[in-house]
A = this chain, B = another copy of it.
Amino acid sequence: MKTRPTIRDVAQLAGVSVGTASKALTESGKLRPETRARVRAIAKEIGFRPNDLAHSLHRGQSQTVGVISTDSFGRFTMPIMEGLEACLSERRISVIMCNATDDPEREARHVETLLGKRVDGIVVTARRADRRPPLAVDTHGLPLLYVFSRTEDPDALCLVPDDESGAQLATAHLLGVGRRRLAHITGPERFEAVRLRRAGFVNALQAAGLDPGAAPVLAGVWSEAWGREALDRLFASAQPPDAIFCGNDLIARGVIDRLRERGIDVPAAVSVVGFDNWEIIAEATRPPLTTIDMNLTRLGHEAGRRLIELIDGAPSTGLQRMPCSLVVRESCGARAPT
C-alpha cells in the first residue's frame, strides 16, 4: 500500500529542512522565492497535502459542521441537506451527518462526538417542523440552528416553511380559477403543519368574502387511501365541492384517482391542489398535480448561509418562516405561467 507523502518527503526531495519546507508551503517566514517555488513544485508533484487537522487545531476552527436529524435520512431531510451542503461546500465547510432517529440518548452521543471533533456549528433537522426539546447536551454557545424543526429555546434560530401562507397560495389559486365550493382534506391534527395549513385555507376564504363554515375540512392521515375515502365522503353530500385543497400530495393522488374512478373529470369538473411538490407523486398523477413547494433545498441553503453568519459571530435568534411557492401543473385548469 502506498503511503501518503509527508512534509519530510517534500523536504528531503527539495534538499531543505522540514522547517524550511513548512515555511515554503504556509507562505510564512523569509525564504528565497526560488526555494519557495521549488518546495511547492515538489509538494505538488508528489501529491503532498497540508494537514488541515493541524491547521484546524491551530485556528480553533475545524471547517466542519454537524447535522443531527431525527428523520432517518428521509425525504424532507434530503433536499434540506442538499441545499445546506451546496452552500457550505462553497466555503469548504464539510458536513457530518448524524442520524439520531428519535432516540434522545443516541442524539446526546452524537452531540458529544461532534463537540469532540470541534465542529464549528450544529444544524438540527427533523421529519416534521413541530416543536421539539432543545438539544440535551450543553453546547456552550456553539452556533446552533434548527431547520424544518423548532425548539422552545428563545435563544435558538429556527427556520421553517411558511405553511400558512403556502395554504393561502393554494386556496387563492383555486378561487382564481373560478371555484367557489372548496373543501380541504388533510392529515393528523397533531401536526402543527395541519393546523397552519387549515388556517391558511380559512383565511383565504374569508379574504375572498366566502363563509369558511360552509367549506368542509376533513382531517385524517397522510395517505392515498385517506384521500380516496375522504373524497367518497364529500361526494356523498348533496352539494359536493368543485375544488379540493389537499394537505399533501399523497392525499391529492388518492383524491384524483378516486375522482377518475367515479367518472368525474379533473380539472373540468373539480380542481385539485396538493402540498409538497413531491415530484415522483405530483408528476405521475393523472393529470399532473398543481401543488405547493416548500422550497426545502432553498431552505437548506438559507440554513447554511445563516449558520455561516452565526459562525462568523453575528448573533441571530427567533423563528423565521420561509415562503412556499405554487407549482402549476394541470389539476386546477389554470395555465402554467409562461
Q: Is the CB of A118 within 8 A of B53?
A: yes
Spot the interface stretch: A14-22, A138-146, A195-203: A138-146
A26 at the interface (CB under 8 A from B): no
CB of A134 within 8 A of chain B? no
Given contacts A2-B141, A284-B223, contact A78 B86 (CB under 8 A): no
**In the complex, what residues of B have CB within 8 A of residue A225's CB?**
284
Asked if A54 is at the interface of the complex by the 8 Å CB criterion, the answer is yes
- Asked whether any CB of chain B lies closer than 8 Å to the CB of A182, the reply is no
Say yes or no: B49 contacts A116, CB within 8 Å: yes
Contact partners of A96 in chain B: CB under 8 A: 64, 94-97
CB distance from A113 to the nearest CB of B (A): 6
Q: Mark A310-337, 1 if CB is under 8 A from B, else 0.
A: 0000010000000000000000000000
Q: In the bound complex, how far is the Cα of B139 from the Cα of A3, in angstroms? A: 9
A172 contacts partner chain B, Cβ-Cβ < 8 Å: no
Cβ contact within 8 Å between A99 and B82: yes
A236 interfacial by beta-carbon distance below 8 Å: no
A55-66 CB contact bits vs B (8 Å, 1 = yes)?
Answer: 011000011101
Smallest beta-carbon distance A114→chain B, Å: 8
> What is the distance, in angstroms, from A322's C-beta to the closest C-beta of chain B?
19
Asked if A47 lies at the interface with its beta carbon under 8 angstroms from chain B, I say yes
A240 touches B (CB below 8 Å) = no
- Checking B73, B112, B140 against A81 with a beta-carbon cut-off of 8 angstroms, the contacting residue is B73
The CA-CA distance from A56 to B62 in the complex, in Å, is 12
| A85 close to B99 (CB less than 8 A) | yes
- Judge whether A79 is part of the interface by a CB distance below 8 angstroms: yes
A188 at the B interface (CB under 8 A): no
A15 to chain B minimum Cβ distance, whole angstroms, is 23
With A85-B98, A141-B2 known as contacts, the answer to whether A51 contacts B116 (CB < 8 A) is yes
- Residues of A whose CB lies within 8 Å of any CB of B are 1-5, 47, 49-54, 56-57, 62-64, 66, 72-75, 78-79, 81-82, 85-86, 89, 92, 94-99, 109-110, 112-118, 138, 140-142, 223-225, 250, 257, 280, 284, 315
In the complex, 25 of the A-B residue pairs with CB atoms within 8 angstroms, ordered by the A residue number, are: A1-B141, A2-B140, A4-B142, A5-B140, A49-B115, A52-B116, A52-B117, A53-B53, A53-B57, A53-B62, A53-B117, A57-B57, A73-B82, A81-B97, A82-B99, A85-B97, A86-B99, A89-B99, A89-B109, A94-B96, A94-B117, A95-B96, A95-B98, A223-B284, A257-B257
Q: Given A94-B113, A223-B284, 19 other A-B contacts at CB below 8 A?
A: A1-B141, A2-B141, A4-B140, A4-B141, A4-B142, A5-B140, A53-B53, A53-B118, A63-B117, A64-B117, A73-B79, A75-B75, A82-B99, A86-B99, A89-B109, A94-B98, A95-B96, A95-B98, A257-B257
